[in-house]
Amino acid sequence: MPELIDTDKFSEAMRRKGVDLDRQRILISKLAGSEQEKDITKQPNCGGYGRIRHFRRRTTAGWPANPLPNDPAHKALGLPTTDVMHAQVFQNAVCNWRCWYCFVPFALLAGDEQNAGWLSAKELLDLYLAEPDSERAAMIDLTGGQPDLVPEWVPWMMSELRRRGLEGKVYLWSDDNLSNDYFWQHLTDADRELVATFRGYGRVACFKGFDADSFSYNTKAAPELFDRQFDLFARLLALGIDLYAYTTFTATRSDNIGDSMARFVDRLQSLEPNLPLRTVPLEVYVAGVVKERAEKQSFLPQANESLLHQRLAIDAWCRELEHRFSSDERAQSIADVPLAAASRR
Ligand code: SF4
């Protein structure tokens, strides 16, 4: 059994490395010249600190389509939806977990200033706006790393977008690995109100596994933290944010996957009856940086086996959704799936 991460301790250490509160700067990964650069189809932009990512609805055969973040972004921007949408991506340079399938090289998750630079929200937007009009994306994706180790990043970006009259004109999307409560520990009520009410913001939080075992296998965090993911998601739901979920289904075991998946979907529905319809399973695959890492750690056979289990898991997921929701409900746009928690806000 590999050594597990002490998530709370490691989160604190990574936060210290990832934010400069006095000058309101975030440590942003420098992609130009990094190991990640070779896995990126287009050259890094924004002075080497950003990249353009194409979000595609289409997935591999037998895997559910991925409408995130395209559908929420198009809806918020009042644009017709498309199957491919490009986004301006910035990655913060810290993460508190080490998912074996992470496509970001671990060197870009460690808060190492040699692979990163200190940038404020103003400087990030200056870089974004300096890109040629024809190439500038209508969406900015704040990702990582784990953006929520520095929860200030999102409201800082929002304040800057608002100051420049860009609220509602540029879509802001951020992700969260559901590992800590820094959003409540470190933000003020006013910050949280800004995040909850900003026009043109969507957030996705990732459940990394369908049970405690698969969660721990995927993240190297203690299995008990699987439950924390649900508690944190419930707190985000209560804020009324336009909230979505990802999930990953790689696992070491294949026994009782049907039962485990049914319990997982039960738990999602205990938070919000429609949450499975706002949840997108992400297919894990082994290529590029992930393959090199797995080979280096002699982990490739286990990784490949867990990919077979993820196929069983996605079949079980699809069966659960077919059983619990009508075809009309499943066919609606993910951005139109109502959340009861939001209407109670
Ligand atoms: S939480 Fe995200 S950024 Fe961190 S290791 Fe896992 S996949 Fe990578």
* Ligand 1 contact, 146 CB (< 6 A): yes
Whether the pLDDT of residue 227 is over 60: the answer is yes
Ligand 1: centre distance to CA 180 (Å): 13
Q: Which of 238, 249, 265 is nearest to 322 (CA)?
A: 265
For ligand 1, the distance from its centroid to the CA atom of residue 99, given in whole angstroms, is 5
**What pLDDT does residue 160 have?**
98
Is the predicted pLDDT of residue 344 greater than 60, yes or no? Answer: no
Reduce the secondary structure of the chain to three states and give it as a string. Answer: CCCCECHHHHHHHHHHHHEECCCCEEEEECCCCCHHHHHCCCCCEHHHCEEEEEEECCCCCCCCCCCCCHHHHHHHHCCCCCCEEEEEEEEECECCCCCCCCCCCHHHCECCHHHEEEEEHHHHHHHHHHCCCCCCCCEEEEECCCHHHCCCHHHHHHHHHHHCCCECCEEEEEEECCCCCHHHHCCCHHHHHHHHHCCCEEEEEEECCCCHHHHHHHHCECCCHHHHHHHHHHHHHHHCCCEEEEEECCCCCCCCHHHHHHHHHHHHHHHCCCHHHHEEEECCCCCHHHHHHHHHCCCHHHHHHHHHHHHHHHHHHHHHHHHHCCHHHHHCCHHHCCCHHHHCC
| pLDDT exceeds 90 at position 345 | no
Closest atom of ligand 1 to 219 CA is: 6
The CA 106 to ligand 1 mean position distance, Å, reads 9
| Ligand 1 site, residue 102, Cβ cutoff 6 A | yes
Query: pLDDT (tens digit, 9 = 90+) per residue, 26-81?
Result: 999 999 888 877 777 778 999 999 999 999 999 999 999 999 999 999 999 999 99
Q: Domains for the chain: give ranges and CATH numbers.
A: 7-343 (3.20.20.70)
Atom of ligand 1 nearest to the CA of 177: 1
Q: Which of 101, 177, 229 to mutate to test the pocket of ligand 1 (most atoms within 8 A of CB)?
A: 177
249-257 average pLDDT score: 95
Mean pLDDT (whole number) for 177-201? 98
177 ligand 1 Cβ < 6 A: yes
In which band, very low, low, confident or very high, does the pLDDT at 2 lie, cut at 50, 70 and 90? low
pLDDT over 80 at 128, yes or no: yes
The closest-lying atom of ligand 1 relative to the alpha carbon of residue 95 is: 4
Q: State the average pLDDT over residues 170-186.
A: 98
